[in-house]
C-alpha cells in the first residue's frame, strides 16, 4: 500500500511538510487516516471557530448547495446582502459603511492596498506604512506589506513605497513626519509574529496621525476579527474607528471567505471597474458566514471566548518552560523560556494535540469558540506532558519556572 506521504511528494508542490492525513472531525477533535485522535487547538490557524462538522454549519452549507452555489459577480444573492448588512452592524460602520466579499484574507488585503492607492494617488501620496513583524499575506502585493525577509526576498522587487515602521510610538511619529503617507495597514495583534500586542496607545496614536495627515487607517483583522479576541473586532477595545477593516479566517468557520469593510468617506473610493471577484461572496460562502456569525451572536459565544481564554492563560502558568502569555480571547501566544517551540509542537503532536510554533519561543493556540471545561482540561494535560517531555530531554542549563 502506498504511503500518503509518497502521494503527497509525487503530486503536491513541496511548500512545507504535512504532519498527518486528516480524514474527519467533530467538535474540537480530528482523526487521521490511522484513526489517531487529535485535540485541535489551532483551529485551522484561527479558522474553525465552531469546531469541525458543526450541525449549524453543515445544515447551512447543505441547504444552500441544493439551491444556488454560484452566480458570478453579475448578480447579487439574498445571503450576500444579508452578510454585508450583518458585517456593517457588527463593525459599527453606520449607514455609510460598505462591504466587499472576497475569497481569503490575502485577497482582502490586496484590496486594501488598492484602497490606499485610490486615496493617495490623486495627491501624490504613495507611501503605505506597515509595522515591523507584520504578516499580511503571500501574494505579491501582500508580501510587499510583510517585512519578513524569508517570505518576501525571493520575490523582489516588491510593490514600491511600502515603509516598515518600528513597533514604537517614536517610530510611528517619525514615519508620519517624513510625509507622503497614503495609508497605514496594521494588525491590532500580530498573530504570525507570535501573538504580539502593540505598545499601549499605539493604535490610538495611529488613528490621530492618519487623521491629521489625511491618510487611511486600515486594520488587518484577518486573524483577530469575527470574535476571535472576545469582541467582534479587536479595534473596538481601543475606542477608535478605522477607515477600513479586512477579515477572513473565522468569518466562515472553515469556508474560504474574506471581506473588506469600509467606513465613512473610504466607502466612496472604489468605483465600477476598479475591483471585483468571480467567486467572492458567492451564495455558498455567504450562507456559511451568515450561519456562523448568527450562531456566535445568538449563543453569546463571545462570553465563552473570554472565559475560556482566561481559563487557558491561568492554566498554563507555572508549567515547565512557560514564561507567560500574550493575546486576547482565544488568540493566545504562550511564551517559552527557551527557543524550543518547534520541539514542543512536535511533542504535542505525538500526544494528540495540535498547536503551532510561529516563532522559536512562542506557541500559538486558537481553538474553537465552543470549547468547554473538558477541552480545556484535556489541553492542559496534553500540553503539560509535551512540555515535560521537552524539558526532560533538554540540556541541564535550560531554565524552567520554579
How many whole angstroms separate alpha carbon 122 and alpha carbon 120? 6
Whole-angstrom CA distances from 111 to 105, 134, 230, 275 are: 10, 17, 26, 8
**What number of other Cβ atoms are within 10 A of residue 319's Cβ?**
17
Per the listing, cell 523582489 goes with 156
Main-chain phi, psi angles of 245, to 5 degrees = -135, 140
For residue 217, the cross-strand partners are 184
* Residues of the chain by 3-state class (helix, strand, coil), percent to 5: 40, 20, 40
Contacts by residues 81-84 (CB-CB < 8 Å, ≥ 24 positions apart): 82/286, 82/290, 83/281, 83/286, 83/289, 83/290, 83/293, 84/281
CB within 8 A of 242, min separation 6: which ones?
207, 217, 218, 219, 235, 263
Residue 46 backbone class (left: φ over 0; alpha: ψ -120 to 50; beta: rest): left
* The Cα angle at residue 137 between residues 209 and 365, in degrees rounded to 5: 95
CB within 8 A of 130, min separation 6: which ones?
136, 145, 146, 147, 162, 163, 164, 165, 184, 185, 186
SS3 297: helix
Task: Just list the catalytic residues.
Answer: 135, 220, 249
Cβ neighbourhood burial of 151 (10 Å; 0-12, 13-18, 19+): middle
3-state helix/strand/coil string of 9-59:
HHHCCCCCCCCCCEEEEEECEEEECCCCEEEECCHHHHCCCCCECCHHHHH
Amino acid at each position: 500500500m502506498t504511503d500518503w506521504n509518497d502521494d503527497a511528494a509525487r503530486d503536491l508542490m513541496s511548500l512545507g511538510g504535512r504532519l498527518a492525513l486528516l480524514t474527519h472531525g467533530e467538535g474540537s477533535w480530528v482523526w487521521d487516516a490511522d484513526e489517531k485522535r487529535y485535540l485541535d487547538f489551532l483551529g485551522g490557524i484561527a479558522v474553525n471557530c465552531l469546531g469541525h462538522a458543526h450541525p449549524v454549519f453543515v445544515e447551512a452549507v447543505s441547504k444552500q448547495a441544493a439551491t444556488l452555489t454560484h452566480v458570478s459577480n453579475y448578480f447579487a444573492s439574498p445571503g450576500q446582502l444579508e452578510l454585508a448588512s450583518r458585517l456593517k452592524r457588527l463593525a459599527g460602520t453606520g449607514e455609510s459603511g460598505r462591504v466587499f466579499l472576497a475569497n481569503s484574507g490575502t485577497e482582502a488585503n490586496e484590496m486594501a492596498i488598492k484602497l490606499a492607492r485610490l486615496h493617495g494617488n490623486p495627491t501624490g501620496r504613495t507611501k503605505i506604512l506597515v509595522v515591523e513583524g507584520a504578516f499580511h499575506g503571500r501574494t505579491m502585493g501582500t508580501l510587499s506589506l510583510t517585512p519578513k525577509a524569508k517570505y518576501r526576498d525571493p520575490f523582489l522587487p516588491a510593490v514600491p513605497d511600502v515603509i516598515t515602521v518600528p513597533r514604537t510610538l517614536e517610530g510611528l511619529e517619525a514615519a508620519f513626519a517624513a510625509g507622503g503617507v497614503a495609508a497605514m495597514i496594521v494588525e491590532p495583534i500580530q498573530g504570525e509574529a507570535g501573538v504580539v500586542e502593540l505598545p499601549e496607545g499605539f493604535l490610538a496614536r495611529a488613528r490621530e496621525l492618519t487623521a491629521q495627515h489625511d491618510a487611511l487607517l486600515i486594520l488587518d483583522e484577518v486573524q483577530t476579527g469575527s470574535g476571535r479576541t472576545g469582541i467582534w473586532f479587536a479595534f473596538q477595545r481601543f475606542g477608535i474607528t478605522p477607515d477600513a477593516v479586512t477579515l477572513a479566517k473565522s468569518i466562515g468557520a472553515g469556508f474560504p471567505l474574506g471581506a473588506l469593510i469600509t467606513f465613512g468617506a473610504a466607502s466612496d473610493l472604489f468605483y465600477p471597474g476598479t475591483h471585483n471577484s468571480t467567486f467572492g461572496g458567492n451564495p455558498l460562502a455567504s450562507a456559511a458566514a451568515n450561519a456562523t456569525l448568527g450562531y456566535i451572536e445568538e449563543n453569546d459565544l463571545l462570553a465563552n471566548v473570554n472565559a475560556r481564554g482566561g481559563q487557558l492563560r491561568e492554566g498554563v502558568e507555572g508549567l515547565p518552560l512557560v514564561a507567560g502569555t500574550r493575546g486576547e480571547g482565544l488568540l493566545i501566544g504562550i511564551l517559552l523560556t527557551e527557543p524550543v517551540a518547534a520541539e514542543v509542537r512536535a511533542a504535542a503532536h505525538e500526544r494528540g494535540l495540535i498547536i503551532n510554533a510561529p516563532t522559536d519561543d512562542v506557541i500559538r493556540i486558537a481553538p474553537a469558540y465552543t470549547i468547554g471545561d473538558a477541552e480545556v482540561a484535556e489541553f492542559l494535560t496534553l500540553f503539560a506532558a509535551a512540555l515535560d517531555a521537552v524539558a526532560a530531554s533538554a540540556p541541564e542549563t535550560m531554565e524552567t519556572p520554579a
